[in-house]
Structure 1
Amino acid sequence: MSTILFTINEGVGVITLHRPDKLNSFNREMSLALQDTLDECADNPAIRAVYITGAGKGFSAGQDLSEIVGASALSMKQILSEHFNPIVERIRQLPKPVVAAVNGVAAGAGANIALCCDIVVAAQSASFIQAFSKIGLIPDSGGTFFLPRLIGWQKASALSMLGDKIQATEAEQMGMIYKVIPDEGFGSATLQLATTLAQMPTRGLALTKQALNQSFANNYSQQLELEDKLQQEAGDTDDYREGVNAFIEKRPPVFKGK
């Protein structure tokens, strides 16, 4: 059984984490397969947005703990440097918008891989858990980086240490995610969001993502300088010219991602 399902639908690379019997917890096979699939999404010009969800009842329960016990146990260094960190790096550097559609529980690394995506939407019944403290670990997969930036120091500190289960509605209220969507019709509604992104000016969205990435480290003046540089790049795209012409001609734009 393939641990990652992948299709292309109307310009969207649809990635489904596929270990439903294990709540889509990550083993080595699934981690490496996800990396390969993200590379394919980056390299394929027909893909203009990426959509990640989980099969069955969960998004992902994080690391499959059966891989860290026994004679053939993976080390923490392997799990982070070979599995999770490359996944997070690929998502953040992918020059296309990435939507995480959290259809159920997102725990541990599963939660933080979702939270590193560009737009995170969750089903009404979904939940998020920084489960690491329950087994004596720290939040990884970018958790200590993204979480305080999303919800503030105090909330991030408490959730990381206490491991509280946060329901989707509360996650939206605290700014952890973009939006909660009813369970009924969740898949079609969230896929439509990704399809909308795939029809937008892809290069401009990629430059927006680059600017947001660098804003974490830049000071005010550096960010203004970066915006100047990236806006010039955006203004030299075919999609920019199409957008302006469509506005003047009072018609819907037809963007091609160039």
Structure 2
Amino acid sequence: MMMEKQFDTLKVEITGNAAWVTFNRPESLNALNLQMMTELQEVLNELKRDADLQVLVLKGEGKGFCSGGDIKAMLKMNGEEDFQHFMKVINDLSITLYTMPKITVSAIHGAAAGLGLSLALATDVVIAEEQSKLAMNFIGIGLVPDGGGHFFMQERLGSQKALHTIWRGEIMNGQEAYSLGLIDKVTAEGRVSEDTEAFVNMINNSPVKAMMESKSILRASRSSQLEQTLELEKDAQWRMRQTEDHIEGIQAFTEKRKPVFKGQ
């Protein structure tokens, strides 16, 4: 099987009929750069084709799940062409995860923020530790969610709650995210791997074919809606990147200070 291959930014382990894919850039809190996203897409495409695999788990190495898109990498982007390519990779990832013909799980500890949270919400089951830090925090740098963030928040929370949660961009712990309806299960600190393994074992003793049929029926009517949302997000991201508020948000982020927004 291809998973003998080594990746720079991911670890892939196959145990029985489950694949465990670990974001492996702990030095940057597993921030998603182009290489990591491209490797993830390659892995997902391979796993998708493996009929023996029933479950896919995403998790993070080190102190957290994923801190979101790599801002340093984004600052190095040259113009619209780089941006369009970056967004295409993000959009492909979201669609692949959402329509994956497996039971998909995100096992969250520490931070799951921005694009990292969007990708987690693209999976079927999100399990997070009590003290994890979940944030759809694009607003803090004058941007809008990407990776299907709007779509996944709307699916899980309904339009109004999704809108207000995106506007606030606050950091929620696992319990708060669970109470809101954003995630599917909250677990004690340090227990997410154990609880995820227990869930995988439960799936192994379930009629997975029937489970997958229900998933494909529910996803079928929604995936074109996701694609539409991803296009809208891409256009909005490009426009927001030209705003004074975004430039101020990025400057404040790099200078570790509170941004002063003017609605410009």
TM-score (normalizing by structure 1): 0.78
Does the C-alpha gap of structure 1 residues 71 and 189 become closer, same or farther in structure 2, counting only changes over 3 Å? closer
User: Structure 2 CA distance, aligned partners of 1:86 and 1:30?
Assistant: 13
For residues 137-156 of structure 1, the aligned pairs below 5 Å read 137-156=143-162
In structure 2, which of residues 206, 213, 216 is the aligned counterpart of residue 200 of structure 1? 206
Equivalents in 2 of 1:43, 1:149: separation in Å? 27
Q: What is residue 129 of structure 1 aligned with on the other side?
A: 135
Structure 2: how far apart are the matches of 1:71 and 1:197? Answer: 42
Name the SS for the 1:58 alignment partner.
coil
- Of structures 1 and 2, the larger Rg is shown by 1
Which of 175, 185, 189 is 1:179 aligned to? 185
User: What are the Cα deviations for residues 188-236 of structure 1, in whole angstroms up to 9, with x where unaligned?
Assistant: 2212212322443332222111122135489xxxxxxxxxxxxxxxxxx
Equivalent pairs: percent with the same residue?
28
2: distance between equivalents of 1:71 and 1:182?
Answer: 39
Contact kept in structure 1, 2:127 and 2:192, CA below 8 Å: no
4+ aligned runs moved over 2 Å, structure 1: 70-76, 152-155, 198-203, 214-218
Partners of 2:83 and 2:139 in 1: how far apart?
A: 15
Task: Provide the residue aligned with 1:24 in structure 2.
Answer: 30
Instruction: Structure 1: give runs of 5+ residues left out of the alignment.
Output: 219-258
Aligned length: 217
Q: Measure, in 2, the Cα distance between the counterparts of 1:17 and 1:153.
A: 30
Offset, 1:71: 6.4
SS at match of 1:60: coil
Q: Paired residue for 2:84, among 68, 77, 81?
A: 77
Superposition RMSD on alpha carbons, in Å? 2.0
In structure 2, what is the equivalent of residue 212 of structure 1?
218
Q: Do the aligned residues in 1 keep the contact of 2:108 with 2:192 (CA within 8 Å)? A: no
Cα gap change, 1:172 to 1:134, in 2 (>3 Å): same
> Which amino acid is the alignment partner of residue 78 of structure 1?
H
| 8 Å contact kept, 1:101–1:120 | yes
User: When the two structures are superposed, what TM-score results if normalisation uses the length of structure 2?
Assistant: 0.77
**Is the 1:97–1:206 Cα contact (8 Å) retained in structure 2?**
yes
Output the CA distance in 2 between the equivalents of 1:85 and 1:119. 20
Task: Judge conservation of contact 1:47–1:198 (CA < 8 Å) in 2.
Answer: no
Counterpart CA distance in 1 for 2:18 and 2:39 is: 18
